[in-house]
Structure 1
């Protein structure tokens, strides 16, 4: 029988223990651990959630990897066409882990109504386009269908719709300037069949999704010529290695660039969240550990007489230290339980009702996103428990300094 655990349980169950001098200090230690694990869970879920949402939105508008012609064009507008007669299209069989490869082309345009006009990026897509991203952010209407003849249906953002005072089902004119500025611009009359709101303002205020065949016609391209290819991967974490593989498997006349390379500043910024998360976790564990050290020392000093009796009965220092470490472990687990409960409630409320909002101009999202990862939360709890117990090993050595003769006092 584990008598150390038996004694620890008796101490915990004792009424005297619950009304002792150490009781307030013990409660403070439990509260500190509970608050610590709650803050760590929130920082973990919101930090990873923000990273995930920003990555999702960048890849939704650009794919994970883009394949285009080599040129000096650093804008969002595609100038030189690429033939669709490639070994990797419509299926990239030489590289694993690819979900979809889709064609696209972009052209600068001006959307005009009777009372206003605004510059936009007219993004053309085809029947092979993966609409799953826009399906999640569609707020009105339906997604366009480009599988049959040339379609005038377009998908615009809520941002553009509000600024131009456009509604679902409205028609509007989009003008495209020709290379020869002396000639009148091309005019496309389009119908709004869907309105999306991704919350990524840099894209929402610019992109109109339309049929790629309009761009092919205006640019005098053949039916097999497009602006480029967007590659969607199964796993974002493989983006660097897959981007290198794609580059090696494509023609020497083509270039492939991942969104990590296309938007380095954004990804450097969101990678800083990791440092913030690690710093918060380190501070919270340190604070929790210090509170537990204080509680343990008070417990030991309060139980000096019991320690003396156990030593007189033949218990060694290691066994007595185990009693107090078991006791401390119970307190840590109690704090973790309440901390997890509070943390899950707060995160669930934010996930379900989106109470806390953010400025999309700064954070690229309009509400605090939550990413639940049970594995990370379990590791966080296990790590907190182990680190706090390790911090308690040294102060528990005070047990060996207590002399039985001086500790035992009979009334």
Structure 2
């Protein structure tokens, strides 16, 4: 019966042409805006975390095996060693990485860049963001251009080169300057960590560095679950210690968190800021709805007096208005979800909202990632918080006298 009366009141606002009181409309709008801001916030935070982690893992892997600093500039990793590490439980794949710093020069400008070697066995590296011009090189023998290179879009602007242009890169090796010519195969946006990073053929970089076919600067290990990095590190260490591949090499193994503490700590701080914002916006939405509920009770004073005169209990009346308030909250939440989803999808596909300083955030647009589980938790949390906050205001019904309410006009 309580729910029946609540539905009649909820539908009567429209069917009887009375409309909802302006303050109640504002309360519904407040819930809509609060939930919309919360959902967009968690989506942007998830997008930043996903993109930053992709950049970090693209550069260092979840685990990184490298020579001990000051001992060598590369390590020897034959196929047997890679196969052994690939069999370690939790390891998904292993990527030998060859890296060289150089100076890219044209007739009008020069830029210091880091070149990372790619080969035909590697999948596209998330470090190299979104391709905005040209293509991601295949690094196969049948590649359409000689010595293809993938450049950051910002670096290409500095050098005044575009897709298809030739680019000279100078390397300082063994007190000598070495020159290699590349062809710009594509340009990408984002992906900058410190210095500009370019993708070039691994065999070219090995020849420049005097490496063998099985040599690499580092081994990047990608694991099934990044949260198990410490556990998998122990397994990899034990497997390497028991093998003969490291007898003549001094190697170290680190997790991405150990190699990039500042970035990952920043992501943890971001989580704290998101929780604070969600709490504040939830309280704002709850207080606006409290104001709306008080107005609803005052607007229905005669209705309350009539039901009291007919013998309805105060608990029954409180449930009626609590149901009514939650229906209005549901309407606001429905609109909040719809608007937030549309805005997130538009930003996800068109990237209209740009960042003023990409060097600070390592990307040039505001990233968005819709996590349905997080959205569900935010909706349930908002619903629960609002419900609890509305329990207290319903007690004003007990102060309404049936005699005075029936005289009230």
Contact in 1 for aligned 2:137/2:186 (Cα 8 Å): no
From the superposition, tell whether residues 47 and 410 of structure 1 become closer, same or farther in structure 2 (CA, over 3 Å).
closer
Matched, 1:262 2:259: yes
Q: Whole-Å Cα distance in 1 between the matches of residues 365 and 216 of structure 2?
A: 36
Unmatched 5+ stretches in structure 1: none
**What CA deviation, in whole Å up to 9, does each residue of 1:165-192 have, x standing for no partner?**
223333333222232x3xx423323333
Q: Whole-Å Cα distance in 1 between the matches of residues 108 and 403 of structure 2?
A: 96
Matched, 1:84 2:78: yes
Question: Which residue number in structure 1 is paired with residue 202 of structure 2?
Answer: 212
Q: Whole-Å Cα distance in 1 between the matches of residues 97 and 319 of structure 2?
A: 66
Question: Which residue number in structure 2 is paired with residue 140 of structure 1?
Answer: 133
Q: Whole-Å Cα distance in 1 between the matches of residues 234 and 353 of structure 2?
A: 39
Question: Which residue number in structure 2 is paired with residue 383 of structure 1?
Answer: 381
Of 184, 193, 197, the match for 1:202? 193
- 1:245: Cα distance to partner? 4.3
Q: Whole-Å Cα distance in 2 between the matches of residues 219 and 200 of structure 1?
A: 25
Provide the aligned C-alpha RMSD in A.
3.0
Contact in 2 for aligned 1:109/1:176 (Cα 8 Å): yes
The aligned runs of 1:50-199 (5 Å cut-off) are: 50-72=48-70, 79-84=73-78, 87-89=81-83, 92-96=86-90, 98-133=91-126, 137-148=130-141, 152-179=147-174, 181=175, 184-192=176-184, 194-199=185-190
Q: Which moved more, 1:240-249 or 1:316-325?
A: 240-249
Q: Please, what TM-score do these two structures have when normalized by structure 2?
A: 0.86
Q: Whole-Å Cα distance in 2 between the matches of residues 281 and 292 of structure 1?
A: 17
From the superposition, tell whether residues 401 and 148 of structure 1 become closer, same or farther in structure 2 (CA, over 3 Å).
same
- 1:240: Cα distance to partner? 5.0
Q: Whole-Å Cα distance in 2 between the matches of residues 293 and 311 of structure 1?
A: 23
- 1:326: Cα distance to partner? 0.7
Question: Which residue number in structure 2 is paired with residue 222 of structure 1?
Answer: 212
- 1:212: Cα distance to partner? 2.6
Contact in 2 for aligned 1:154/1:190 (Cα 8 Å): yes
Q: Whole-Å Cα distance in 2 between the matches of residues 410 and 158 of structure 1?
A: 71
Question: Which residue number in structure 2 is paired with residue 282 of structure 1?
Answer: 279
Alignment coverage as a number of residue pairs: 398
Question: Which residue number in structure 2 is paired with residue 48 of structure 1?
Answer: 46
- 1:33: Cα distance to partner? 0.5
- 1:295: Cα distance to partner? 1.8
From the superposition, tell whether residues 395 and 82 of structure 1 become closer, same or farther in structure 2 (CA, over 3 Å).
same
Q: Whole-Å Cα distance in 1 between the matches of residues 407 and 207 of structure 2?
A: 100
Contact in 2 for aligned 1:57/1:198 (Cα 8 Å): no
- 1:39: Cα distance to partner? 0.9
**What CA deviation, in whole Å up to 9, does each residue of 1:32-89 have, x standing for no partner?**
111111111111111211221122222223323221122258xxxx713233355443
Contact in 1 for aligned 2:149/2:201 (Cα 8 Å): yes
**What CA deviation, in whole Å up to 9, does each residue of 1:318-341 have, x standing for no partner?**
211110111101110111122222
Question: Which residue number in structure 2 is paired with residue 325 of structure 1?
Answer: 322
